[in-house]
Structure 1
Amino acid sequence: MPTQSNNAPNTDTTANAQPQSHPYLGMWVTGDGRIRQELLPTGRYDEARGIRRSAYQGRYRVTGTHINYWDDTGFTADGTFVDSDTLHHGGMIFYREKS
């Protein structure tokens, strides 16, 4: 996920996380299953890469079909929900995990 951008100031990401209510909550996974990103209702996300759990964590905000991320390490990124089951983020395509 480390994509640097200037969309937001580097602030205390834990304190600034806001509860989120949108249709995109839940687990998103790349087609090969290597990257898994969970959007939590607390306004936080947790991303696993390969066998590395919680490789990236931070806060996020969804506005319409756009998502902004502020990683706890200071990176920022964004993405777009193409439809209810597809997220384009960081040059990758994520799919909603079906239960």
Structure 2
Amino acid sequence: MQPNHPYVGLWVTDDGHVRHELLPNGRYVEARGRRERAYLGRYEVTGTHIEYWDDTGFTADGDFVDPDTLHHGGMVLRRQPGDSTSGR
């Protein structure tokens, strides 16, 4: 179980193509374009750094540069306000 941290929620690229949902249970769901559940896996946040482990074995990481901006894999994702979108 991922401890509570301020980054749980939905993160989206400016063009809306990539969407990461960081769930409070330490799991994530990544959507790409029309593929709503393109990638699933777990994550851990340490300070402002995030590590991802996809269920297929792929790994990635990123950094939160401020409370509303995530740099990940050459992309910039921004926090989306509102409720969690889990269960898509």
Indicate whether the TM-score tops 0.5.
Answer: yes
Deviation track 1:22-78 (CA, whole Å, cap 9, x = no partner) reads: 000000000000111000000000000000011001000000000000000000000
Q: 1:53 aligns with which of 28, 32, 36?
A: 36
Tell me the secondary structure at the aligned position of residue 77 of structure 1.
strand
* Runs of 4+ that moved beyond 4 A: none
TM-score (normalised: structure 2): 0.90
Q: What is the Cα deviation at residue 98 of structure 1?
A: 2.0
Gaps of 5+ in 1: 1-17
**Higher helix share goes to which structure?**
1
Tell me the secondary structure at the aligned position of residue 33 of structure 1.
coil
Q: How many corresponding residue pairs?
A: 82
Correspondence for 1:37 = 20
Percent identity over paired residues: 68
Hey, what's the Cα distance between the residues in 1 that align with 2:41 and 2:3?
13
Tell which structure's C-alpha radius of gyration is larger: 1
TM-score (normalised: structure 1): 0.80
Cα RMSD, aligned residues only: 0.7
**Higher strand share goes to which structure?**
2
